[in-house]
């Protein structure tokens, strides 16, 4: 059941991502960006990481997307891409195809053979020459090409049942473990991030300040 | 199986974000595609930390910082976009 919903959420995220870049109205573009964020947040929650899923909705949808909407509605952005139809979209598709094929190359060739030395990757049975992870990837591509059912999660166990994370919505032990690493080993990073967020407050104020001469702030230092 | 599932989703979103970032003439749309790229990177980090690092969750912590930095650069980028209209 959760595999079914995972497929729906990932398809929704990809479709919304395509519609972000190909819609003419910038407000519709922001709405599809919100849809991408909500789909990815639901995906993360189903994957077992409840804290990051909820914080996506709070931070990305609640702050960043609202900021985009404010700026777009305040600015009256000219629809400069209205004329970019037909040949102007397809003339950069080969470049996009090259970038996308790099990822596909990495997923096919490099990723299955890097699973052999990991101790937490708990396979169900011993296999010396032919790793079960590569069997899983090849089987997955086979189901992509041949059939449309495509559920191959019985081929091998990626994680053992004690770490089965797709059945928890929130987990206080997970938040506690994030906090225990974040506030001890990542404490300096936290302080640096606070300084960067202070810059993000002061910077837009300084950039959009109007003085009496209606010049920018830097002309005051002449 | 589920690991490659998530990584393919992350690769798709990253490629769509890069394509939109390169071929957009509007700066606000470029900033939105930059958010897509950072989103895909977040999914990647979080997946690897969930599968292979159940004890320390270093990928989760890094993606918290990526969210914070993405918010900061979205704010500053939109201020840069809207500054000629305010005083120009």
Summarised one tens digit per residue, pLDDT across range B12-65 is 899 889 888 888 888 889 999 999 999 999 999 998 888 777 777 888 999 999
> pTM score > 0.80 for this model?
no
Per-residue pLDDT, A68: 93
Chain segment A197-212, per-residue pLDDT in tens: 999 999 999 888 776 6
Give residue-wise pLDDT tens across range A93-105: 787 788 778 777 7
- Is the CB of A60 less than 8 angstroms away from the CB of B35? yes
pLDDT at position A122 is: 40
**Contact B27/A at CB under 8 A:** no
Cβ separation B42–A159 shorter than 8 A: no
List the single residue in B2, B23, B60 with the smallest CB-CB distance to A153: B2
| Length of chain B counted residue by residue | 88
Q: Is the CB of A98 inside 8 Å of chain B's CB atoms?
A: no
Over residues A88-142, the pLDDT tens digits come to 666 777 877 887 787 777 766 665 555 544 433 344 333 444 445 555 555 555 5
Cβ–Cβ contact B20 with A under 8 A: yes
Assess whether pLDDT exceeds 80 at residue A189. yes
Contacts of B56 in chain A (CB under 8 A): 177, 181
A62 in B contact zone (CB under 8 Å):
no
Residue A153 has pLDDT above 50, yes or no: no
Among candidates A10, A99, A178 on the partner chain, residue whose Cβ is nearest the Cβ of B9: A10
pLDDT of A87? 57
pLDDT at A62 over 70: yes
Does the beta-carbon distance from B71 to A200 stay under 8 Å? yes
Does the pLDDT value for residue A160 go beyond 80? no
Kindly give, in sequence order, each residue whose CB lies less than 8 Å from that of residue A28, ignoring residues fewer than 6 positions away: A19
CB contact under 8 A, B4 and A186: no
CB contact set of A193 (below 8 Å; sequence gap of 6+): B65, B68, B69
Size of interface A-B (CB pairs under 8 A): 209
DSSP state of B57: -
Among B46, B63, B66, residue whose Cα is nearest residue B54: B46
**Residue A111 confidence (pLDDT):** 59
> Residue A23 burial by CB count (10 A; 0-12/13-18/19+): exposed, middle or buried?
middle
User: Given this model, what pLDDT does residue A95 score?
Assistant: 78
């Amino acid at each position: 059941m959760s595999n079914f919903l995972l497929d729906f959420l990932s398809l929704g995220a990809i479709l919304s991502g395509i519609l972000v870049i190909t819609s003419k109205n910038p407000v519709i573009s922001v709405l599809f960006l919100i849809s991408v964020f909500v789909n990815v947040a639901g995906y993360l929650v189903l994957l077992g990481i409840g804290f990051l899923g909820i914080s996506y909705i709070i931070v990305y949808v609640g702050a960043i997307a609202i900021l985009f909407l404010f700026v777009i509605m305040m600015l009256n952005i000219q629809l400069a891409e209205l004329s970019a139809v037909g040949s102007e979209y397809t003339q950069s598709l080969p470049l996009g195809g090259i970038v996308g094929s790099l990822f596909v190359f990495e997923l096919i060739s490099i990723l299955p053979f890097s699973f052999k030395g990991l101790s937490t990757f708990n396979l169900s049975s011993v296999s010396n020459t032919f790793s079960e992870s590569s069997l899983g990837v090849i089987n997955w591509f086979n189901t992509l090409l041949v059939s449309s059912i495509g559920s191959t999660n019985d081929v091998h166990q990626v994680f053992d049942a004690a770490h089965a994370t797709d059945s928890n919505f929130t987990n206080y032990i997970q938040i506690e473990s994030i906090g225990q690493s974040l506030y001890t080993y990542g404490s300096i990073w936290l302080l640096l991030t606070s300084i960067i967020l202070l810059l993000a407050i002061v910077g837009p104020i300084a950039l959009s300040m109007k003085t009496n001469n209606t010049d920018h702030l830097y002309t005051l230092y002449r | 199986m589920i690991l490659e599932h998530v990584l393919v989703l992350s690769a798709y979103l990253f490629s769509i974000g890069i394509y939109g970032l390169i071929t957009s003439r509007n700066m606000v749309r470029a900033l939105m595609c930059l958010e897509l790229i950072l989103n895909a990177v977040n999914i990647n980090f979080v997946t690897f930390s969930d599968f292979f690092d159940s004890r320390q969750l270093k990928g989760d912590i890094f993606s918290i910082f990526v969210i914070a930095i993405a918010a900061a650069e979205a704010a500053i980028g939109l201020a840069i976009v809207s500054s000629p209209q305010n005083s120009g």
